[in-house]
Each structure stands twice: as structure tokens, then as C-alpha cells.
Amino acid sequence: MRDTGQTIGQTTAALPTSAPAKGIRGRRTSGIARVLIAATLWGVSGTAAQQLFQSEGFTPGWLVTVRMGVSGVILLLLSLAAGGTRRVFSIWTDPRGRWQIVVFALFGLASVQYTYFAAIQAGNAATATFLQYLGPVLVVLYGALRQRRPPNRRESLATLLAVFGTFLLVTGGSTARLSVSPAAAIWGFLSAVTLAIYTIYPGPLMARWGPATVIGWGMTIGSLACAIGRTPWDLDGQIWSVWAGVLVAFVVIGGTLVAFYLYLTSQRYISPAETSLLACAEPLSAALAAVVWLHTPLSLGEIAGGLCIVATVAVLARGNRSAGGGR
């Protein structure tokens, strides 16, 4: 928040309060709008990926390779334009930094992307996104374990909500059957674990070299690693059409680059806790898009379970800066 630094007389006393107030409200509105749009883009891109996997013959490995590769290169080019070659390539002159960026790329960025898309392919975008949102609970529990203390009241409540929500989401509220496939549940849990790693690990890297450079290199390296198993030009089984091309472009550009930019810039105007709360729009938008667009059936038990998991982020965001994050 900027200070206007102006002194105005009593005859215009309304100005120093109303003008800055309007500016503050405008900045907050901009921040809120940015994070809501980013979260919605992430959620809808998951549904677009479900359409590609289940109707167009695409695979998670191929989509992750292309999504991360294109986004990584563009982010690096933007960093290059903003800060020059030294800013972008200096990370590789630091022995510790270059190993850390490789670890983050493989076990953070690439892993969270692949497990999330694999969960979508095995189930649906709504369930995959809800399960991934167990990640913030794992982050908080890791923090408590590292500090060698028991979870506090807020963390305990969030954990109970997460466990109960997962039970409802996976079983639909019935112990006699599973409402999602075992593969979808396993990939979803792995997505939550890798989201926790993605959230915890890169803090020192981003503080030193900046988010765009770190994410750009992470995506580029992760894409190259994924390309070992499935190169972008290997198109077996994929049904290419204008519609498929639009969906791929949306996942790569709208669901990655635009969403990432909006999410990061939103934090200039609103607090991290507010950002985390508003980011809960992601699983809700994924669920709504899956139901309306792809007619994915969700039972009342699954809906209640998803809302419980979203509620955990709301609880954690009240007292923890790392309760949320974007993909």
C-alpha cells in the first residue's frame, strides 16, 4: 500500500480520506479479482484435461510435457526481458542452487503436474482437485513435526475436517463401496503429497532468484524429464481436431501462464491468508465445470466431502501463511 505523502487543508478534508480509500479499495478489488480468475482458470483447465484424456485420446505424460515446456520457456523469456541474462542464468553458477532447482523440478513441479493429471484420467477433475487440496494440511502437519510440537487447535480441526472429507469423497458416505476408483484415490493422494513438496521446498530458491526464474527453470527441466517417456511429437492415439487444439491451448496458456501470472500479482494487493482463502475457488470451479460441462455425477456425500476439504484451507488460512498455493 502506497502512502500519498500529501498534506491537504481543512477546507478539503474529505479528499485525503476518500481519495486514498478509493485507491485502496481499487487495489483490493484488483487483487481479489486476479486470484479468483486464476483459481477458476486452474479449475476449468482440469476439466479441459479430463475431456482430452477421456474423449480425445491424450495422455497425462504428453500434456504435462507440453504444458510445462511451453510455459517454462515463456517464463524464462519474460525473466530474461525483465532482468537480463545474469538474473536468469546465475542460478546455474551456484552449486547448491543448481541441484535444488533440479530436485524442485522433478519432485515438485513435474510430480505435482503428472499426479494431478493422472488422478483426472483415472477419475474426474472434481475429485482430483479436491484430493489435491489435502496438500495444505500436509504442509501444516510437516511444520508441526519439524518444530517438534503437537498440532494446535486450528491444525487439529483442519486435520479432522480433511480426514472426514476424504472419507466422504472416496466412499460417497457409504462404507460398502468406493465412489472413486482405487487408482484415482491413490493418484489424488500422491498429488496432495507432491503439492506439499511443491509448496515447502522452493522457498529459499524463490527468495534468492525470484518466482518467475525458479518456476521457469523448474517447468523447463520437468518438461525435459517427462519427454524421456513421451516426446511432444509422439501423437499416437491422440485425436487432433480444432476443439482438441483449443483445449490444449487453454490448458497450456490459460490454465498455466495466465493463471500463474494473475495469482502471483494478486499478492501485491491482498494478504497471503486472503489469497489462500480465495484460491478455494479452484476445486469449486473444477467441480462445477465437471458437472455442467462433462455431466460428471457427484453424490451428496462426495460434494460434502469436497466442501470439508475446502473448509480445511479456510481454517488454516486464518493463521498460517503457507495454507494455500497455486499450481
Mean pLDDT across 248-274: 82
pLDDT surpasses 90 at 183: yes
Of residues 85 and 193, more confidence is placed in: 193
Which pTM does this prediction carry?
0.81
Q: How far apart are CA 49 and CA 62, in angstroms?
A: 11
pLDDT, tens digit (0-9, with 9 covering 90-100), for 187-244: 999 999 998 888 888 888 888 888 888 989 999 999 999 888 667 777 656 778 899 9
pLDDT surpasses 50 at 86: yes
- Confidence at residue 157, expressed as pLDDT on a 0 to 100 scale: 87
Check: CB of residue 48 under 8 Å from CB of residue 255.
yes
Mean pLDDT across 44-59: 92
CB-based burial label for 14 (10 Å; 0-12, 13-18, 19+)? exposed
- Confidence at residue 267, expressed as pLDDT on a 0 to 100 scale: 67
- Confidence at residue 22, expressed as pLDDT on a 0 to 100 scale: 59
- Confidence at residue 8, expressed as pLDDT on a 0 to 100 scale: 29
The ranges assigned to domains in the chain are 33-317
pLDDT band at 10 (very low <50, low <70, confident <90, very high): very low
Grid cell for residue 324: 494455500
Mean pLDDT across 286-315: 85
pLDDT band at 300 (very low <50, low <70, confident <90, very high): confident
CB-based burial label for 150 (10 Å; 0-12, 13-18, 19+)? exposed
Q: Return the number of other C-beta atoms located less than 10 Å from residue 29's C-beta.
A: 12
Check: CB of residue 33 under 8 Å from CB of residue 265.
no
pLDDT surpasses 60 at 2: no
Average pLDDT, the chain: 82
Q: How far apart are CA 108 and CA 197, in angstroms?
A: 6
pLDDT surpasses 60 at 6: no
pLDDT band at 260 (very low <50, low <70, confident <90, very high): confident
pLDDT band at 20 (very low <50, low <70, confident <90, very high): low
